[in-house]
Structure 1
Amino acid sequence: MFEHITSSEVAGYCVGALLLASTLSATKIDSLISSSQRSSLAMCKRCGDVKLIACSSCKGAGVLKEGGPFNFNLVYQSTTTREPSPILRSTKCTKCLAKGSFSCPNCTQQQQLDEN
């Protein structure tokens, strides 16, 4: 099965696999490094002393948009220019109540402990 594969091709497959693995784990590595930097600076590990965390559903925007570049179910509205214009429907995020962020639970707990 692998009789016709050269060493250069094997090396190429290995480099490709390493690149794919590093791309897939980049967000986890970034969060690990930023968390350790925040703790070394005596900041909140979760929010970095901003006291807010972006909503995971709407990515901090407060609205959920339907359609877009990767969803081809666009709704078109006819206008006077004869060219259809895409309308992207958006709904308010129900998880964060359209605010886009939450209070940091770590900072809230620390504030409550400081008050007591």
Structure 2
Amino acid sequence: MLFRRARSGLVLIAVFWLWMLFGAADFVAALFGSPIHAALAVCLLGALTLVSLLFLPICVAYLVLHKPQAGSQTASQARSTAAPQSRPAQEDGLAPVIRMIPGRAAARGAELTGRAAAKWRDLAS
């Protein structure tokens, strides 16, 4: 996931710099009717330029550090082979964070939920 985010970040940086190279001058020139708008655009473009220069090495580092293995399985295949087959079918639609809860913690949560429901039923009656 981090590799894909870093790759997307590099694509965004490349698109921004291509736009800066070919279209930003026309954009700023079109704003010279109002000096406030032109100054604001120049300041924002300068800030975005600095942010993109800071973001570039971070994206490259993530690409290098989180490079996927060439012969490895995909994440969904690895998850399906590593996951026990005794899980209920309703967990397939859950968010990944919820699916990562160990069975022991999930059972304890269900037990606490059952006790809380029983307590509320007693209080309601």
| Higher relative contact order (Cα pairs below 8 Å, separated by 6+ residues) | 2
TM-score, normalised with respect to structure 1: 0.26
Query: Could you say which structure has the higher strand fraction?
Result: 1
Structure (1 or 2) with the greater helix fraction? 2
TM-score scaled by structure 2? 0.25
Bigger Rg, which one: 2
